[in-house]
Amino acid sequence: MKFGQIRKPLALLALTALAACGGSTAPLTVVPTSPPATGPAILTRIVGVGDSLTAGYQSGALLGAPCCVGAGIAGSIPNPLATGTAAAGLGVTPGQQAGFWAQFYAQATGVNFAFMSTPTVSPLPLIGGPGLGNQIVNANPALTGGFPFGTLPTSSSCSPFNQAAFTLSGALRTVREQPGAGTVFDLGVPGITMHEAITMNRPTSPTCLPIPGATPTISALQAVTAGQSSMFYPILGNFNNLGANNTELNAAVSLRPTLATVWLGANDLLQYSFSGGKFVGGNNSAAQSQADMTRIITALQKTGTHVIVANLPNILIAPQFMSVATPPSAAACQVQTFLVCVLTELGLPQAEAAAITAQIATQYNLAPNGYLTESGAILAVTEILKGQPVNLDPAGAGSGLGAYYLTPAFAARVQSLNTALNTGIDNAAAATHVPLVDVTTIFNGIASGNPANPYFAQAASISPGKCCTAAFGGGIFSFDGLHPSNTGYALIANAFIQAADTAYGQTIGPINPTAVYNGTGYLPYPDPYARH
């Protein structure tokens, strides 16, 4: 098939309205507030146990370097890829302070953004710039070969900065914003599985160097493992006095929390999915999930900790996964992610976008309910732009499974594992009598597109016609299609606040998601992942 020229390359993925996210032009002069000297006992020592979702990971990286101290969003982390665009000079905003746990903590204790950004007092293990991982930022297409977003040149997953994180000394001297900073209470380790939170006491990989000649599937799995290993010491290095017992759970127990949030299991699912089913080191049954979650909860309860647990969204709802199915209506494109809708947003006529989707679906046996991953879609678009045939199996038949596409049969296995993990988490919460934040229901509601659904209605009301939905570019997720935007994290934080208020008699009060979206509340800059 001869493809037509895409006239708006990746316009949807770029979220082109990012440049319209302004912010005040006057320098910010906020100073750190202090936690209240007295207050509800349950809120005096809040600890986060989890993975990248607890850590505040966004858009492919973990970054806590303070921003927003100059005009607009002119932060301390420059964005050279934005040169020549309306977004030039806006800098790269941090994600750790925008995570659900950080927003929950700030709302519960009354501290401000400056407090959360000051290494000597912040409960976050603040990561300096350019951040750990591959920070994806909005970009000038002239600098990226046609893509209006790209990875910061200095944030390669194997840059010297990232490599330094694999050693204890490098992590605490190079990667952390300030050596010897205060006590860390957000213990979320990106990439960690549920069982690893109990047992992992050191990085599993010594380096970020890729395996030579590995298939895309193995490379995708290695990237997750190496990314996880690079995050271990930056988060848990200050607990190294625990020696062989320096696990995330033991670090949390050592803090003797008054309240702990526990959100784990996403990486058991994602490592299985991205490896095409080759990763078998995670929990693969409801019984395993329940046993591990129960162990985590009861270990915390023995210290007198009040615990709040969350389950997982149905991950195939996330815009990382682009369905090859035919959208049931034009409106469906606005609330979920369909490949044909993405191609149409890129500028292709509807008929041509449908033909390309059908060809890819036939070539890789994806019909009727398969998916391209975000990486697979970008690869396909790149090849189309070059006039080349789409090849999602670059290392031979089946080599792109998981990394670039999910067949209907494999997608069903991923969903089955998703359901099993949630069953275990739900059962553990019930058995240990702790409140459950039902993230599954929240994200199902947002993705439903049903105005009568309270979760969809709330998200869609944040900025009607602009934000927010679960579709790629809809404002709930960041550029990586997996981790929430500032606004998405705010919605999750509110669910944890409601659980604390209802189950433990607190009066924290909800966050205003519209203020987070606009940058007029705790976060002093507009959401960089949502249209304005």
Per-residue pLDDT of the chain (532 residues; tens, 9 = 90+): 333 344 333 333 333 333 233 333 233 334 455 444 444 699 999 999 999 999 999 999 999 987 655 434 445 677 888 777 665 556 788 999 999 999 999 999 999 998 999 888 999 999 998 899 988 888 887 787 666 778 888 888 788 999 999 999 999 999 998 876 778 999 999 999 999 999 999 998 888 877 777 777 677 667 767 778 899 999 999 999 999 999 999 999 999 999 999 999 999 999 999 999 988 889 999 999 999 999 999 999 999 999 999 999 999 999 999 999 999 988 899 999 999 998 888 778 999 999 999 999 999 999 999 999 999 998 998 898 888 999 999 989 999 999 999 999 999 999 999 999 999 999 999 999 999 999 999 999 999 999 999 999 999 999 999 999 999 889 999 999 999 999 999 999 999 999 999 999 999 999 999 999 999 999 988 898 998 8
pTM of the model: 0.91
Q: pLDDT at position 150, please?
A: 82
Q: Which two tokens stand for residue 474?
A: 């809809």
* 3-class secondary-structure state, position 433: coil
The full set of domain ranges for the chain reads 40-320+408-518, 321-406
Q: What is the DSSP string of 162-231?
A: HHHTTSHHHIIIIIBSSTT-S---B---TT--TTHHHH--S-S-S--PPPTT--HHHHHHHHHHHHHHHH
The three-point CA angle 364-367-368 to 5° equals: 160
Closest C-alpha among 372, 412, 411 to residue 392: 372
Closest C-alpha among 145, 237, 183, 171 to residue 44: 183
Output b/e per residue, 471-498; b: 16+ Cβ within 10 A: bbbbbbbbbbbbbbbbbbbbbbbbbbbb
Element (H, E) at 254: helix 248-254
Architecture of domain 40-320+408-518: 3-Layer(aba) Sandwich (3.40)
Q: pLDDT at position 126, please?
A: 95
* 3-class secondary-structure state, position 116: helix
Q: pLDDT at position 443, please?
A: 98
